[in-house]
Amino acid sequence: MVKKLTSKISFLLAISLSALSLSACSNNNSSQSENGASASSASTESISASSADTDSSSSNEDISDNTTSDIVIDDTEAIGIKTVDSNGDYYKDKQVYVQKIDGLSEDFMRGVDISSFLSEIESGVVFKDYEGNDIDSQGFFDLLADSGVNYVRIRVWNDPYDENGNGYGGGNCDIDRAISMGEYATNAGMKVYIDFHYSDFWADPNKQMCPKAWEGMSISEKETTLYDYTKESLEKLKDAGVDVGLVAVGNETDSGMAGVTSNSEKCKLYSAGSKAVREVFPDAYVAVHYSNPQRDYMEIAKMLDDTGVDYDVFATSYYPYWHGTLENLTDTLKNVADTYGKKVMVAETSWAYTLDDGDGSGNTVGKGSNDDSSEYSISVQGQSEVIRNVIKAVADVGDAGIGMFYWEPAWIPVNVYADTTDNASDTLKANSAAWEKYGAGWASSYASVYDPDDAGQYYGGSSWDNQALFDFAGYPLYSLKTFGYVYEGNEVEGMEFEGALTPSGITVSLGEDISLYLPKTVKGEYTGDVRLDLPVEWDDYSNIKEFGEYKLFGTVTDILSDEEDNTSRVIIKITVLPESLLENSDFETGDDSGWLLEGNGPWVDTEDVYRGEYGLHFWSQTAVEFTATQTYTAIHSGNYTASMMIQGGDAGDDQVITITVTNETKGTSVTAETKVTGWLEWTNPTTDVIEADAGDILTVTIYVKGASGAWGTIDDAYLYIE
C-alpha cells in the first residue's frame, strides 16, 4: 500500500502519531453472538514483552525487558461500543445499494489483498459468515468467493525475520505463508496474484530497501539472484498447486526496487523477474506497479518500452483520499493502454466505514486525517460505492482494463479496544503482544534493526482496521458483497432523495471557457448514506467576464424517481483568476521555464497540483530552502499584486514561506506570508498592492524554508495589475 510518499502523510506516519509505546501480553480468541456481544476464551501463553505505556508522547521501549502472562481479555464492552454507529445500528447489518455496471466482463479481476490473514488467525481472530457463524480458514476464503471475489493478492517478502527468527510483522509474509494462503484461495476457486516486494519488509514509493542477503551485490549479481529467487518461489507455489494468474515484479516501485534507484538498473531487475515468471507460469500476467496516477505515467511507460521490459500489466494504486479523481484514473490508464498496448488495473484501493480505531494503534483514516467525505460517506455504503466506482473506472478503459484489488479487507483488531472500558490498558497490552509474537500489526519491534527509521520508532498495530470489509469483531460487512453485486445491482428498500451535495469549486483563468470546467454531474444524497452521480444543468453564466469569485446555481435531477419535478438546487463556487503577467505562472510547460530556481528542494512535477497537470513540487531529505524568482518590466502604470497557491507539510515550526514583489526601480517591496499545514490544504498568500510606473522593473520572489523532509506544491504563481 501507499506509505510515506514525498507529498502526503502516509500509512507509516499516521501510525507514528498514535502507536508509540505499545507493548506486551497475551492474545485472545473471541466468539461473538449474533447481537454483537462476545465471550472471550483467551490463550494463556506467556509472551515476553515490555510493559505498556499508552501515552502517545512516549518512546517505544525494548520489548524484551518485561514479561506479563495469563491475562484473559474480555472485549465484550468494547465490541458493543465499536461495532455500532452513532444511532446504535450495527455496521454488519447495513445493506448497500449498488448500481449495476453494464457490460462488465465475468473475467474482470475483482480481488482483495489478504496478506495479514494468517497472522490474524494465529493471534486468535475469529471471522464470521453473514449469519454470524464462526468460520475456519477455508471457510473464510469460501466466503470471499461467495461474495463475488475471484482473485486474492498476497505480498511476498524475502526474509521478514531477524537473526533469531522473530518476525518483522505486517503478516510476516514470506513465500511459505503465501503458499498456505494461496492454497486456501485456489481451493475456493479463486486465482492468486503474487506481489513480490523484493525486500525483507515493506516496499513503497519512498522506501525500497535491499534484502539483507543481497546487500553489497552488483547489479548483475542482483539480476541473477532476483531471477533465481523469483523462479524458486514460483516453483514452490506451482508444486503446491496454487493457481497463480498474475505476478507483480515489485511493489509501488516509483523510487526504485531492491535497493537500486536508477531506472536503468530497476528495469534490469524487472526483466529478470519477468523472465522467471514466463518460465514457471507462462500463462500468468506479469505486472509492474506504481503508486500514483497523478504522476506522468506516460513518461514511465515510455521508459519501460524504451528499455524493453517484458510485462503485460501496468498497475497503479488508487486511494480516493490521496490520488485524485476517477476521471483522471481512467484517462491515465487508457493513455498507457492505448499507446503501449498494455493491460491496466488498480492494484490497491480502500475506504473507511467508520472513523473509530479498533485496536488502540491509530489509523491512516481518522478524525482530521484523510477523512474528507465530500465524495463518499464514511460508511459501509461509502465503501461499497468506492469498490463499485473504482471497478467501473478501470472497466471504462475498455478491454485493457482488467481488474481492481481492495487492500487488506481483513486486517481487523486482535482484541477490540475502547479507551473508556475498565480493561483498556490490558487490551492494549494483549494486542501489543500479538503484534510482536504473530506479526498482526504493521510492524514489530524486531523490524527495528532492518528498518530503524520507521519500524524502529513507530512499530505497532494495524492502521487499516476501519477500512476493512469486516467489522472489528469479525463479521463481514455487506460492502464485501459489492464484488458480486456489480453485475446485477442491488436495491435497498426505502431509499429517498435528500438533495444534492455542494461540489468542489472550480478555478479558471480569465478568458477560459468555463463550461470546460463545470462538472456534468454532482453527488446526490439518499437515505442510508447512498451517494449517486446525478446530472446537473447549470444556470446561465455569460455575465462572468472579470476576475474574482462567483457563485453559480444549477438544477440536479433525481435519476431514481419517476417524478419529473423531483429536483434539487445546488451551488458551485467559481474563481476566475486574473491574467498573469509572469511567464509560465502555472508551470504548465512541464518545466521551470521563465523561472530562476535556486537552492534545495524544488522541481516541476505532476503530483498534487492545484489545477492543470503541473506544479512546482518541493521535498528533500535534508532541510528545504529555495527561491523561485522572475522579473517583469511594467508596461502600464498602476497597482500590482502577486499571489500563489501552496500546500504541503512537515515544514516544522520555524518554516518561512513568502511571496514578495519588489519594485527594483523604486526600491519598494510588499510581502505576503503563509505556512503549509497539511496535504492539499491550499493557502493563497496575496501581497498588498505595489505601485509601479511604466518601465519599472518588478521582481517576484517565492521563498520557502522548511525542516528536513518538508514537502509541498506551488501552483498559479501570479503577478497582475489591478
- Note the pLDDT tens digit of each residue in 334-382: 999 999 999 999 999 999 999 999 999 999 999 989 998 888 999 999 9
pLDDT confidence tier of residue 606, bands split at 50, 70 and 90: confident
Secondary structure E strands in 320-396: 343-348
pLDDT digits (tens, 9 = 90+) for 502-522: 999 999 988 889 999 999 999
Alpha-carbon distance of 650 to 584, in angstroms, equals 27
- Show Cβ contacts of residue 89 under 8 Å, excluding neighbours closer than 6 positions: none
pLDDT confidence tier of residue 202, bands split at 50, 70 and 90: very high
Q: For the purposes of burial, counting CB atoms within 10 Å of the CB of 360, is it exposed (0-12), middle (13-18) or buried (19 or more)?
A: buried
Q: Which of 385, 363, 368, 367 is nearest to 376 (CA)?
A: 385
**In this predicted structure, what is the pLDDT of residue 721?**
93
Extract the C-alpha cell encoding 628: 523561485
pTM: 0.83
pLDDT confidence tier of residue 62, bands split at 50, 70 and 90: very low
Alpha-carbon distance of 114 to 408, in angstroms, equals 5
**In this predicted structure, what is the pLDDT of residue 2?**
33
HEC states along 546-577? CCEEEEEEEEEECCCCCCCCCEEEEEEEEEEE
* Three-state SS at 9: coil
Alpha-carbon distance of 400 to 387, in angstroms, equals 19
Work out the number of other CB atoms within 10 angstroms of the CB of residue 546. Answer: 9
Alpha-carbon distance of 722 to 638, in angstroms, equals 7
pLDDT confidence tier of residue 36, bands split at 50, 70 and 90: very low
Average pLDDT of the residues in 3-30: 34
Q: Are strands 28-32 and 638-649 parallel, antiparallel or unpaired?
A: unpaired
C-alpha distances out from residue 134 to 33, 37, 473, Å: 10, 14, 11
* Three-state SS at 342: coil
Query: Looking at domain 11-485, which of 2.30.60.10, 3.90.75.20, 3.40.190.10, 3.20.20.80 is its CATH number?
Result: 3.20.20.80
Alpha-carbon distance of 715 to 535, in angstroms, equals 31
Query: What are the residue boundaries of the structural domains of the chain, listed by start?
Result: 11-485, 497-577, 596-721
Average pLDDT of the residues in 298-316: 97
pLDDT digits (tens, 9 = 90+) for 225-270: 999 999 999 999 999 999 999 999 999 999 999 999 999 999 999 9
Q: Are residues 291 and 204 in contact, defined by beta-carbon separation less than 8 angstroms?
A: yes
Q: Are strands 668-674 and 697-708 parallel, antiparallel or unpaired?
A: unpaired
Alpha-carbon distance of 659 to 663, in angstroms, equals 14
Q: For the purposes of burial, counting CB atoms within 10 Å of the CB of 73, is it exposed (0-12), middle (13-18) or buried (19 or more)?
A: buried
Secondary-structure percent of the chain, ordered helix, strand, coil, rounded to 5: 25, 30, 50
**In this predicted structure, what is the pLDDT of residue 71?**
58
Does position 29 have pLDDT exceeding 60, yes or no? no
Residue 629 parent element (H or E): strand 623-633
**In this predicted structure, what is the pLDDT of residue 45?**
27
pLDDT digits (tens, 9 = 90+) for 391-439: 999 999 999 999 999 999 999 999 999 999 999 999 999 999 999 999 9
Alpha-carbon distance of 631 to 588, in angstroms, equals 19
**In this predicted structure, what is the pLDDT of residue 206?**
84
**In this predicted structure, what is the pLDDT of residue 564?**
73
Average pLDDT of the residues in 473-481: 98
Mean pLDDT (the chain, rounded): 89
Q: Are strands 521-526 and 244-249 parallel, antiparallel or unpaired?
A: unpaired
pLDDT confidence tier of residue 24, bands split at 50, 70 and 90: very low
Beta-bridge mates of residue 646 = 683, 714
Residues in the chain: 722
* Percent above pLDDT 90 for the chain: 82
Extract the C-alpha cell encoding 116: 495479514
Amino acid, single-letter form, for residue 18: S
Residue 674 phi/psi, 5-degree rounding, is -155, 180
In the block, cell 433525481 appears at 558
Q: Name the packing angle between helices 175-187 and 137-146 (round to 10°).
A: 60
Q: Which of 343, 306, 271 is nearest to 108 (CA)?
A: 343
Does position 4 have pLDDT exceeding 90, yes or no? no
Q: What is the dihedral of CA 256, 258, 263, 265, to 10 degrees?
A: 170
**What is the DSSP track for 140-206?**
HHHHHHHTT--EEEEEE-S--B-TTS-B-STT---HHHHHHHHHHHHHTT-EEEEEE-SSSS--BTT
Q: Are residues 521 and 536 in contact, defined by beta-carbon separation less than 8 angstroms?
A: yes
CA gyration radius for the chain? 27
Amino acid, single-letter form, for residue 244: V
Q: Are residues 715 and 585 in contact, defined by beta-carbon separation less than 8 angstroms?
A: no
Does position 9 have pLDDT exceeding 70, yes or no? no
Alpha-carbon distance of 101 to 396, in angstroms, equals 10
Catalytic residues: 252, 348
Q: Of the ranges 54-68, 185-199, 489-503, which one carries the lowest mean pLDDT score? A: 54-68
Please name the fold of domain 497-577. Answer: Immunoglobulin-like (2.60.40)
Q: Are residues 17 and 217 in contact, defined by beta-carbon separation less than 8 angstroms?
A: no
Does position 222 have pLDDT exceeding 70, yes or no? yes
**In this predicted structure, what is the pLDDT of residue 613?**
87
**541-547 long-range contacts, CB within 8 A, separation 24+:** 541/514, 541/574, 544/514, 544/574, 544/576, 546/510, 546/576, 547/510, 547/576, 547/577, 547/578, 547/579, 547/720
Domain 596-721 has CATH 3.30.70.260: no
Question: Angle at the Cα of 82 (from 76 to 88), degrees rounded to 5?
Answer: 100
